[in-house]
Each structure stands twice: as C-alpha cells, then as structure tokens.
C-alpha cells in the first residue's frame, strides 16, 4: 500500500480498466462500486497486517473487544490520478491520529486543545463533588437526618390516623347515644366530642410546628455541604453546556462548493433539533471533508464493519453498511450538496409489477398472499401498497382493512378485514396472541442445533431508522420459537413461530449475536443483499370473526 505525504493512497493494483461511476454513491443505500470494493479490500489487507493497539475481537472476542466501522473514498487528483482515502468512525485505541487514515473534522484530543483543558476543569469539579458527597461528617449527618425524618413522618402518620379513627368513633358514639340519652345529656356529649376533635387537631398542629423546626435545624446542618454541592453541579452544568456548544461550532463541514456549516445549524431543522453524541465522527464525513480540503474529487464511497459485533446493533465482520440516518444524513445532506448522486433506491417501487394473490374471501375477511417488495400500507415516498390496491378494487369497504402488517421485503399470508367489526375482533386476537403464525426463512449459514427459542429485548435504533436493535435497558421483550426444516448447500431453511410481534423481530432474531447469529438470505438491513429477502409468512390460524370457527391457511414458501 503506497501513499504520498498526505493521506492519498495509491491503488496496489491496476484499476485503469475499471469504468468509473457516472454519479457519486447514494450513501444511505448502495451496492459498492467495483472500484470502491477494491479499495475496501486493500484497506482490509492493511488492517490485517497492522497492530493499532486496539482489540477488534477478530480472532478472540473479549470483554474489551470493540469492532469499528471503516470507510474508503475513491478520489481523483486534479491531474487525473486515482487513489483512495481511508477513515474509521470514532476513535481507534483512544486516538484520532493513525497513519493512512484521514484526521477527524475536529480533533478534540489534540494536546492543549480547549476541549482537553475544559474537560480537566469539569473532571476537577466532579472530584470535588465526589469528595463532598463522601465526606464522613456529611454522610453521618445524612444518616442521622434520614433516621430523624423517618421518626417524625411515622409520628405524623400515627397522629393523622388517630384523627381519622377518632372521627369515626365519635360519629358512631353520637349515633348510638342519641336514642339513649336525654336531649340535655346528648348535647353535653356532643360538646365533649367536639372538644376532643379540636384537641386532636391541635395536637397535630403543634407537632407539625415541632416537625418544621426540627426539619429546619436538619437543613441548616446540611446546608454547608449541600449548598456547595449544588453550586458545583450548577457550575459543571454551565461549563458542560458551553463546552458542548463550543464543540458543535468547532465541527465545520465543507461541501464541493466550499460552503462551511457547523453542527448546530445542520441539525436545527431535524427531528432531533440538536446534534446527537458522536455526530461528525463517522467515517463518511471525515473522508469527504479531507477530499474537499485537498482538492480531491469524490468518485465512490464504501463503508464496512471490522471486528466483533457491538452489543446492540447487528454488524458482521467485513460486511458493507450504508451511512446511518440519524447522525450522518443531515451532515451528508450538506456535504454532498452540488454533487450528482446515484438514484435513491429507497424511493423506487420494486413491487409495482407484482400481483396480490387472493387465497380466500367472504363477506367479512380476505386472506391474501402478499408478494415480496410490496408495502402493506402506504409509505412516505411510495403510496402503492396492499391497502391502496385493495381499496381501489373494493371502494365500498369500511374500516381500517389492514389488521396486521408484513415488512415490505417479506412475502406471505395476510388477513384483511372487510368491515370494522371484523377488524376489531381479529385485531383483538392479535393483541392477545391467540393468532398462530409460522414463517419460512432461508439463513445464510448452518445452525448447530435443530430447534430452540430466541428471547431478546428490542427497540428502534433512533439514530438509524428503520433498523431495530437489542437493548436490555429500554427494549421490549420479543420471543420466537424455531426449528430447522433442512440444510442444503451451506444454508439452513428454518421455520419460525413468533410468539410476540415486534418490528423486524425474525430478522433481528436470526442475525443478532445473541440470537441465531445467522442472518436471513437477502436481508439488506441485517445481512447481505440478494435478489429478495428469503422470508415468507407460511401459515395463519385464527378464529373467524363471524362464524367463530377456527380457520387455517397455508401458502408454501416460493423458495
């Protein structure tokens, strides 16, 4: 691997016979151009031969293993010479500075940088806060205060309970004695009971004054510590906010027109409103920034994962991945301004020429076999869907029609409701999980076991929609039973029986390292693209909303 004095890397092999792309890579959904794949493969060879002091977890995964996203940008010098730039997302071995890799857009780790200096000041505040919070005198005062306040609260509760009980007892006494005592005696009794009520309330009032006094004394003893802690935390928050804004303004992104834009204005009109953590640290912005700064023409982009998969997202060693939507889309939207891009495949309707097969129909329901690549309901950019087609063919249908959905890429059985009553009755069955479904899928590899269950907590990856991720802190549990149908040519045909119905559940359960570790063939989100996603909804069993009969349907997988 050769390189000039900068970060421009010459190809090891002759690429003069490769036809260059007419347009630049659409970064959010692409098949790498052949010349970008050559650059990526050369970079991978370099990674295999060099030790960065970073545990990627390729040979042996440990608790310290961290895989990384790497990127290559094929570029052309003004004299026509082709080469490429290389970058990694975030840091490698806690450093931004590595030979052959472009620098970050802004290096906060530079010695004597404002970030380092202010980070040290914030760390010193953290140390002072911790010292105060762990001061033996403060800890003893807190324990004594907690004990005293618990005693006071307990006494207050007893007095309040006694007032309530006394009120009930006096009411009972008045009721019982009214018929027994003379009018004069009953009046005297009522006066005595009223005095008793006043005395109990007075006792509570006096106690509350005492409690307020004790509480004030406690607060006075704690004040020297707590006021100082609050002051330090307020100072820390202010410093952190100032530092964050300073950092955001330091990340200045160029485009081919020479226009500079910082993170704050880039993200101000997004749903996030402000830059998320790590914005601008991904490989693609680093690569483009260096190219624009050094008069290098961007030709093609490719990003790949190197090393062990993360705990949440699904990443596979050496697989290519598009730029993320949450962090990179706003930044690249500015950086790629003025560059002609490949057509956005995400707005192309790949299901336009596919027909919906009706399996069964009566006055109440319809069972269809949905083709792959057709939406269940209209999308943001594509309106053609099962819903729109069924309504076009049956304009008099009432109710929401779509009871459940299949991913656009998934084919197979769907039940549709032709009236609102049927919709509600079937939807209730889906909600209480009484509907029985099986899916057939083809997996990329061979499983060691023949059957089992996958249970994972899942949630939306808010920075990379529509991908889902595994999150043990905020995820909702998902469950799938599975069994192997057969194994052929290094691939496993499997039968899934989902118990829950989370978005992308089967795709995540197949691909994630805590699931089957084997993605579904053709899964462009969690595996490798193919002619289609090999996932099909095969059987469907539920109670008919009108006849109450248990009905079953079967649509064999077309693979």
Residue 406 burial (C-beta neighbours within 10 Å; 0-12, 13-18, 19+): buried
The catalytic residue among 373, 407, 461, 464 is 407
- Structural contact between residues 518 and 492, judged by C-beta atoms closer than 8 angstroms: yes
Q: What is the DSSP letter of 107?
A: -
**Which contacts of 249-252 are long-range, i.e. CB under 8 A and separated by 24 or more positions?**
250/106, 250/108, 251/105, 251/106, 251/275, 251/279, 251/280, 252/105, 252/106
d(Cα 115, Cα 271) in Å, to the nearest integer?
Answer: 27
Report CA torsion sign: 10, 323, 89, 262.
positive
- Structural contact between residues 313 and 463, judged by C-beta atoms closer than 8 angstroms: no
SS3 354: coil
Report CA torsion sign: 268, 274, 279, 280.
positive
Catalytic-residue membership of 407: yes
Q: What angle do CA 529, 535, 538 make, to 5 degrees?
A: 165
| Cα distances (Å, whole numbers) of residue 517 to 443, 483, 493, 509, 510 | 10, 15, 14, 8, 6
Tokens of 113: 């940088």
Tokens of 346: 């995400």
d(Cα 514, Cα 274) in Å, to the nearest integer?
Answer: 33
Residue with tokens 């989370």: 502
d(Cα 57, Cα 293) in Å, to the nearest integer?
Answer: 34
**Which contacts of 50-54 are long-range, i.e. CB under 8 A and separated by 24 or more positions?**
52/92, 52/93, 52/98, 53/93, 54/92, 54/93
Q: What angle do CA 32, 37, 38 make, to 5 degrees?
A: 155
Residues belonging to the active site: 407
């Amino acid at each position: 691997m050769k390189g000039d004095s900068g970060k421009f890397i010459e190809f090891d092999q002759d690429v003069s016979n490769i036809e260059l792309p007419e347009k630049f890579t659409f970064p959010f959904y692409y098949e790498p151009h052949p010349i970008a794949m050559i650059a990526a493969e050369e970079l991978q060879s370099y990674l295999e031969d060099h030790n960065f002091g970073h545990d990627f977890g390729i040979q042996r995964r440990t608790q310290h293993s961290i895989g990384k996203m790497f990127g290559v940008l094929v570029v052309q010098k003004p004299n026509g010479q082709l080469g490429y730039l290389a970058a990694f997302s975030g840091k490698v071995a806690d450093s931004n500075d590595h030979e052959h890799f472009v620098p970050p857009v802004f290096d906060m780790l530079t010695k004597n940088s404002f970030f380092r200096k202010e980070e040290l000041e914030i760390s010193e505040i953290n140390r002072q806060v911790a010292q105060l919070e762990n001061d033996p005198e403060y800890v003893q005062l807190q324990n004594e205060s907690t004990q005293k306040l618990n005693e006071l609260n307990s006494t207050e509760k007893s007095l309040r309970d006694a007032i309530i009980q006394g009120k009930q007892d006096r009411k009972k006494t008045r009721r019982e004695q009214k018929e027994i005592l003379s009018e004069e005696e009953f009046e005297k009794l009522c006066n005595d009971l009223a005095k008793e009520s006043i005395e109990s309330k007075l006792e509570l009032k006096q106690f509350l004054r005492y409690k307020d006094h004790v509480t004030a004394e406690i607060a006075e003893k704690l004040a020297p510590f707590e006021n100082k802690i609050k002051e330090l935390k307020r100072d820390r928050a202010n410093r952190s906010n100032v530092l964050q804004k300073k950092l955001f303004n330091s990340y200045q992104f160029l485009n081919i027109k020479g226009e500079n834009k910082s993170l704050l204005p880039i993200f101000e009109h997004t749903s996030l409103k402000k830059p998320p953590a790590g914005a601008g640290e991904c490989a693609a912005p680093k690569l483009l920034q260096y190219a624009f700064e050094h008069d290098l023409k961007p030709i093609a982009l490719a990003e790949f994962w190197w090393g062990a998969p993360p705990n949440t997202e699904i990443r596979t060693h050496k697989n290519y991945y598009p730029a993320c939507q949450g962090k990179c889309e706003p930044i690249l939207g500015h950086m790629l301004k003025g560059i002609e891009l490949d057509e956005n495949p995400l707005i192309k309707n790949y299901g336009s020429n596919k027909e919906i097969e009706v399996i069964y129909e009566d006055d109440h329901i319809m069972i269809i076999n949905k083709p792959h690549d057709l939406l269940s309901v209209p999308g943001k950019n594509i309106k053609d869907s099962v819903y729109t087609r069924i309504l076009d063919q049956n304009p008099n249908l009432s109710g929401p029609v779509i009871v459940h959905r299949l991913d656009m890429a998934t084919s197979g059985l769907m039940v549709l409701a032709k009236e609102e009553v049927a919709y509600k009755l079937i939807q209730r069955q889906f909600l209480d999980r009484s509907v029985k479904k099986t899916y057939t899928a083809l997996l990329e590899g061979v499983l060691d076991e023949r059957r089992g269950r996958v249970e994972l907590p899942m949630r939306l990856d808010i920075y990379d929609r529509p991908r889902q991720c595994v999150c043990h802190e905020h995820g909702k549990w998902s469950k799938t039973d599975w069994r192997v149908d057969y194994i052929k040519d290094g691939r496993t045909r499997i039968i899934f029986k989902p118990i829950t119905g989370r978005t992308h559940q089967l795709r995540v359960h197949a691909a994630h390292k805590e699931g089957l570790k084997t993605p579904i063939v053709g899964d462009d989100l969690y595996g490798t693209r193919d002619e289609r996603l090999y996932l099909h909804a095969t059987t469907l069993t539920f109670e008919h909303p009108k006849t109450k009969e248990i009905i079953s349907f079967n649509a064999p997988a077309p693979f």
